[in-house]
């Protein structure tokens, strides 16, 4: 009886990289963990595990792995760029910006570092939008397919699209907006306090946010209160949809999605209605 050949660390890393390329992230993670068991000091294993768990939303674990890599190789560009991405997604903006500055010092044309630094920079406010847009353009020049340019609307155009979506609402919903019970705002980006109201913090790239008490949860004798608020985040939507028609449709879906929360619909019910 022949023994089964032992899989080597390098073979596991190769297979994990192939799984990442094929978007098989759970498989890549599992293969990376097996490689790490065979070679506990493997930086390659840490990198493929981090890449996989980032795709699966495991930013906290990825940060630990990436920091272990950078303790050994402080100028590793891929690890710096991935760490900046994770910290941004975790709403740790100052630290993300510092890490991405290190990445850009290594290679100022690295598209991932340019893109995520642009996200950090634009959070400083309108005075930094030109600098952020230049970083978006730099990322696009380096990798046009992965980093298409944002589609920009004027504030007036964007508001018009939001109001067109409101006009599609049933009478009761439209009346809530018209009579001031429900207020719809169109800020460029979510504020930090809006993100930190959740544990863990909400995604900084979210498209919309409803704040208030859904109608079904209100008691009959509940006293009048400030209007519930829906925010539709202009720059997040513009950045993620690169065809004008697709952007218009997503603005419509986002408005209807958040108004659905006002009427007490949960995420599953909104998905059933095509508003997820």
Alpha carbon distance 191, 174 (integer Å): 26
Tell me, yes or no, whether 174 lies in a domain.
yes
Residues 134 and 220 in one domain: no
Tell me, yes or no, whether 30 lies in a domain. yes
The predicted pLDDT at position 219 comes to 64
CATH no. for residue 223?
A: 3.30.2010.20
Say whether both 188 and 237 belong to one domain.
Answer: yes
In 77-115, which positions are buried (b, 16+ CB within 10 angstroms) versus exposed (e)?
A: bbbbbbbbbbbbbbbbbeebbebbebbbeeeeebbbbbb
221 and 191 co-located in one domain: yes
Residue-wise pLDDT tens digits, 9-31: 999 999 999 999 999 999 999 99
In a domain, 227, yes or no: yes
Mean pLDDT computed over 43-67: 97
CB–CB of 247/156 below 8 Å? no
* Res. 58: pLDDT tops 70: yes
Single out the residue of 230, 217, 232, 227 nearest to residue 265, CA to CA.
217
Same domain, 233 and 145: no
Q: Which range of residues forms the domain containing residue 206?
A: 155-272
Comparing CA positions, the residue from 58, 51, 39 lying closest to residue 76 is: 51
Q: Is residue 66 a part of any domain in this protein?
A: no
> 88 CB contacts (<8 Å, ≥6 apart)?
96, 116, 119, 120, 204
Report residue 213's pLDDT band, with 50, 70 and 90 as the boundaries. confident
Most distant CA pair in the chain, distance: 81
| Better pLDDT: 262 or 64 | 64
- 164 plus 262 within the same structural domain: yes
Q: Are residues 137 and 159 in the same domain?
A: no
Considering the domain architecture, whether residues 187 and 259 belong to the same structural domain is answered as yes
pLDDT at 114 over 60: yes
Domain tally, the chain: 3
Which of the two residues, 102 and 276, has the higher pLDDT score?
102
Q: Do 167 and 264 have their domain in common?
A: yes
- Exposed/middle/buried for residue 62 (C-beta within 10 Å: 0-12, 13-18, 19+): buried
Residues 165 and 252 in one domain: yes
- Order of strands across the sheet that contains 228-232: 182-185, 228-232, 208-211
- Assign residue 124 the CATH number of its domain: 1.25.40.10
Contact call for residues 142 and 110 (beta carbons, < 8 A): yes
- Which of the pair, 56 or 220, is modelled with greater confidence? 56
Co-location of 136 and 161 in the same domain: no
Domain membership flag for residue 3:
no
Q: Is residue 63 part of a domain?
A: no
Residue 62 lies in a domain: no
Nearest Cα to Cα of residue 138 among 191, 98, 100: 100
Note whether 121 and 132 are within 8 A (CB).
yes
Coil/strand/helix, residue 168: coil
Name the domain boundary from 95, 129, 149: 149
Same structural domain, 192 and 210 = yes
- Cβ–Cβ < 8 Å for 113, 102: no
Q: Distance between CA atoms of 259 and 242, rounded to whole angstroms?
A: 25
Query: Are 168 and 248 contained in the same domain?
Result: yes
CA-CA distances (angstroms) from residue 151 to 232, 234, 254? 16, 10, 17
Q: Which helix (H) or strand (E) holds 209?
A: strand 208-211
Q: Give the pLDDT confidence score for residue 11 in this predicted structure.
A: 96
Compute, in degrees rounded to 10, the torsion defined by CA atoms 18, 20, 21, 22: 90
């Amino acid at each position: 009886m022949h023994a089964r050949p032992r899989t080597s660390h390098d073979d596991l890393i190769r297979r994990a990289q192939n799984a990442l390329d094929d978007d098989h992230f759970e498989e890549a993670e599992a293969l990376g963990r097996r490689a790490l068991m065979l070679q506990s000091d493997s930086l390659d294993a840490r990198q493929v595990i981090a890449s996989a768990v980032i795709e699966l939303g495991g930013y906290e674990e990825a940060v630990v792995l990436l920091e272990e890599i950078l303790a050994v190789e402080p100028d590793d560009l891929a690890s710096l760029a991935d760490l900046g991405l994770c910290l941004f997604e975790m709403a740790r903006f100052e630290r993300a910006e510092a890490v991405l500055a290190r990445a850009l010092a290594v290679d100022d044309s690295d598209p991932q570092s340019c893109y995520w630094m642009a996200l950090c920079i634009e959070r400083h406010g309108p005075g930094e939008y030109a600098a952020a847009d230049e970083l978006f353009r730099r990322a696009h020049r380096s990798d046009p397919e992965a980093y298409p340019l944002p589609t920009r609307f004027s504030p007036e155009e964007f508001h018009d699209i939001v109001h067109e979506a409101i006009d599609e609402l049933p009478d009761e919903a439209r009346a809530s907006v018209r009579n001031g019970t429900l207020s719809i705002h169109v800020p460029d980006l979510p504020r930090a306090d809006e993100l930190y109201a959740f544990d863990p913090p909400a995604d900084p790239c979210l498209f919309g946010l409803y704040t208030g008490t859904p109608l079904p949860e209100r008691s009959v004798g509940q006293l009048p209160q400030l209007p519930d608020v829906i925010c539709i985040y202009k720059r997040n939507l513009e950045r993620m949809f690169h065809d004008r028609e697709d952007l218009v449709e997503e603005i419509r879906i986002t408005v209807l999605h958040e108004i659905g929360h006002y009427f007490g619909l949960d995420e599953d019910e909104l998905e059933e209605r095509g508003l997820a």
